[in-house]
Amino acid sequence: MKRILKAVATSVGGWFEARLRLKPAVMPILEHPIPAGAAGPKGWWYVFGSASMTLLFLQIATGIGLALVYVPSADQAYQSLEYLNYRQPFGWFLRSLHYWSGSGMVVMVVIHMTQVFLHGAYKYPRELTWIFGVLLLLLTLGMAFTGQVLRWDADAYWGVGVGASMAGRVPVAGPGIVELLIGGPTIGASTLSRFFALHVFIIPGLLITLVGGHLWLVLSRGISEPPVPGEPVDPKTYDAKYHEELKKGKPFLGDAMTKDAFFSALVVLVVVTLAAVIGPKGPGGLPDPTLTAANPRPDWPFLWLFGLLSLSPAGLETFVMLAFPVVLVICLLLVPFVSNRGERAPSRRPVAVLIVLVGGTTLAVLTYEGMTSPWSPKMGAWSGDTIPTAIVKRATPLELQGAAAFQNKDCRNCHALDGVGGRRGPDLSTVGTRLTRDQLIDQINNGTPGGGNMPAYGKHVRPAEMDAMVAFLMSLRPPGQPPAKVALVPAPTAAP
């Protein structure tokens, strides 16, 4: 049976080959030699680029599928997503695959870049390959952002709003850029069309073109050999050395391609599993600016930026929005020019390792901050987060009234009790051990001195409410601990 199939395949294949004559063009590409080291166990370092490309193909396939149903108009996009989610057979799975494969693509591109950076593979003669790679990273992030906008929900709406406001701060050209980006001075009917065109035509066009260029460079200059400590790159001698190395090289079609295929299959399997188990993202709340309960968050690739912007001092805002990303991209583009020679092995490049460690930690911490966003008040906490029952059980009638006033005055939106509630201000579970009665009254009445974090609530609190709330707050102490007499922390002072 197997033999018959093989015979049929050979004869059909032969028929086409006799007419197309592809072999002379394709075989040299597939069989081009790669350094012997890259074909061995170290070859596993080289699989991330092809996995990124595999996910790009998956994105194109699922994206075309979604475009058959999705309606890129402000008034129907949300409904068409709901249609995909709940009515179109497998529509939810298509959305889910597209989301998880897109997320996977960002992950793979970042891992690929990190590997190339750590192994010094961007050094002579592969500077241009690196530059194309940086541009591909930007385009991938561009796809992630515009894709988030096409998921036309509250996150998308406010995401465009934030993006446009940032663009609007560009000196002189700002309003023009906003007009171009969202099709008018405010988010409107043509905004979604603009982002649809960006996501479906413009960015993918550039992406595919640059991937072509990137691949051409990989083929023409060859992939880098695994770094060996003590064998620095010298542009004068590198080409000859590499040429010698290729003489001992192995064809790409073989071990290397098998590794690529295996890893890509594994990545796709993970994507499929995530898509099936966790499902598609959103659409979340309606994209309606009159819904004030919206709590928009960017998708995960941008949470670090969200965290950075939120934590930056107001004076630095414009710099962090406009100059910082440009500086970051210029730094990335300059990498192969700053160091295009010398050692490639990470063990001989402590600065490179340090950059990756510090950069990775910074991104992770900022992403965590963006995810938890403790600076945002939790607007529904006052009526939704309960007072811990242990506190209620031991409270006096006055303290109970104080607790009710505490909720009613929205204190809970910024202050947590037992970790539940807003996190903009400190958790007040043990405030009775820290602040005296006078200090509590002062803090509530006048807020943080010098226009600090906490507003002054004196005008919004009646004397009886103040009495009750302060009694309640003073009662917030671990059992057996006396109330604060002299504060353990100094009274807040004005910010410098």
Partner 1 sequence: MTTQVLNRIPAFLIAFTLLASGCNPPGKPTPPQTSGRPEAVTDFNVLYAAHCAGCHGTDGTLGPAPPLNDPLFLKIVPDTELVRVVTEGRAGTSMAAFDQKKGGPLTTAQVKVLAEGLKTKWGKPGGPTDVPGYLLTPGGNVEDGAMMFAMACASCHGDKGQGGKSGELRVGAINDPAFLALSSNQVLRRFIITGRPDLGMPNFTEKTNRPHNFSTLTAKDVADLTSLLNSWRSPATK
If the CB atoms of residues 19 and 393 are measured against partner 1, the closer one turns out to be 393
Where along the sequence are the contacts to partner 1 (CB under 8 A)? 82, 85-86, 90, 92-93, 96, 258, 261-262, 265, 268-269, 272-280, 285-286, 288, 291, 293, 380-387, 389, 392-408, 412, 462-465, 467-468, 471
| Minimum gap (Å) between residue 274 Cβ and partner 1 | 8
Could you count the other beta carbons within 10 Å of the beta carbon of residue 87?
Answer: 10
Min separation Cβ 153 and partner 1, Å: 9
Nearer to partner 1, 80 or 224 (CB): 80
Identify which of residues 131 and 470 has a Cβ nearer to partner 1 in the complex: 470
Element (H, E) at 50: helix 48-67
CA-only gyration radius of the chain, Å: 29
Residue 175 beta carbon to partner 1: minimum distance, rounded to whole angstroms: 33
CB of 475 vs partner 1, minimal distance in Å: 10
C-beta of 78 vs 304, nearer to partner 1: 78
133 Cα distance to chain centroid: 18
Q: How far is the CB of 99 from partner 1 (least distance, A)?
A: 10
Minimum CB–partner distance for residue 254 and partner 1 (Å): 12
Residue 112 CA: distances (Å) to CA of 50, 107, 167, 185, 301: 9, 9, 30, 39, 16
CA–CA distance, 72 with 76 (Å, rounded to integer)? 7
The span from the CA of 143 to the CA of 151, in Å, is: 12
Residue with smaller CB distance to partner 1, 214 or 281? 281
Closest approach of Cβ 109 to partner 1, in Å? 23
The torsion defined by the Cα of 224, 230, 234 and 238, in degrees rounded to 10, comes to -40
Question: How far is the first Cα of the chain from the last one, in angstroms, to the nearest whole number?
Answer: 84
Q: Whole-number minimum distance, CB 438 to partner 1, in Å?
A: 16
Neighbouring residues of 342: CB distance < 8 A, sequence distance ≥ 6: 120, 123, 232, 233
Query: In this complex, which beta carbon is closest to partner 1, that of residue 116 or of residue 294?
Result: 294
Residues paired with residue 33 on neighbouring β-strands, in sequence order: 251
Nearest to 341 by CA among 208, 467, 236, 260: 236
Dist CA 104 CA 107 (whole Å): 5
Nearer to partner 1, 9 or 358 (CB): 9
Between 245 and 427, CB nearer to partner 1: 427
Query: CA-to-CA distance for 344 and 327, rounded, in angstroms?
Result: 25
